[in-house]
């Protein structure tokens, strides 16, 4: 059995909804075990024990969330040279753009020598005022479906040995 690790952080609920949708899609694959962990709770052992990864983060000030950065800082050297070639994908919940957050994760994954198996999926909430940025988010059904499909594709690819 293969293991897909989904690591996320969320303050306003958007990235959490995306991660949970991806988990639901991945859970449909019986030959893949899915672990959903908050970035603050995930560690190097979790990264090493997984066969593939889905990183889910909000965009904060044109970057990945600080808690996600902390996760990568804490686990980077424990996993370096030990997970090369494993597949990953990225989901970003953004207020306006999200591309820089996706680029940051891509740079980290390049250092780990991971294999990107899907283009980053960026869901834009268009939150531009302080009130809108801090407000709880509701991700639309179409976007959640895309997150679910990403999780399903990762899990199926792992189970079939495609990645």
Neighbours of 82 (CB within 10 A): 12
Distance CA 123, CA 140 (A): 9
Both tokens of residue 85?
Answer: 């070639």
Contact criterion met (CB below 8 Å) for 54 and 5: yes
pTM for the full model? 0.97
For residue 4, what is the DSSP state? E
Which alpha helices (DSSP H) does 28-129 contain, by range? Answer: 44-49, 66-79, 99-112
Concatenate the DSSP letters of all residues of 9-27 into one string: --SSSHHHHHHHHHHHHHH
pLDDT band at 126, cuts 50/70/90?
Answer: very high
Q: Looking at residue 27, what is its pLDDT?
A: 98
pLDDT digits (tens, 9 = 90+) for 61-92: 999 999 999 999 999 999 999 999 999 999 99
pLDDT digits (tens, 9 = 90+) for 3-43: 999 999 999 999 999 999 999 999 999 999 999 999 999 99
pLDDT band at 110, cuts 50/70/90?
Answer: very high
Q: Looking at residue 56, what is its pLDDT?
A: 98
Closest CA to 17 of 121, 163, 102: 121
Mean pLDDT over the full length of the chain: 97
Q: Looking at residue 124, what is its pLDDT?
A: 97
Both tokens of residue 146?
Answer: 């895309």
Say yes or no: domain 2-160 is CATH 3.40.50.360.
yes
Burial class (CB in 10 A: 0-12, 13-18, 19+), 19: buried
Burial class (CB in 10 A: 0-12, 13-18, 19+), 130: exposed
């Amino acid at each position: 059995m293969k293991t897909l690790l989904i690591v996320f952080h969320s303050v306003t609920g958007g990235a959490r909804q995306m991660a949970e949708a991806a988990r639901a899609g991945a859970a449909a694959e019986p030959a893949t075990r899915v672990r959903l962990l908050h970035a603050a709770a995930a560690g190097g052992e979790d990264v090493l024990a997984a066969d593939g990864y889905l990183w889910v983060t909000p965009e904060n000030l044109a970057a990945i969330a600080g808690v996600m950065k902390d996760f990568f800082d804490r686990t980077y050297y424990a996993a370096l040279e030990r997970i090369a070639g494993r597949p990953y994908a990225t989901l970003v919940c953004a207020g306006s753009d999200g591309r820089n957050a996706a680029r940051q994760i891509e740079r980290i994954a390049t250092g780990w020598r991971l294999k990107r198996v899907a283009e980053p999926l960026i869901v834009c909430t268009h939150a531009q005022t302080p009130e809108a940025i801090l407000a709880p988010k509701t991700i639309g059904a179409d976007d959640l479906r895309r997150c679910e499909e990403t999780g399903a594709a990762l899990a199926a690819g792992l189970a079939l040995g495609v990645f």
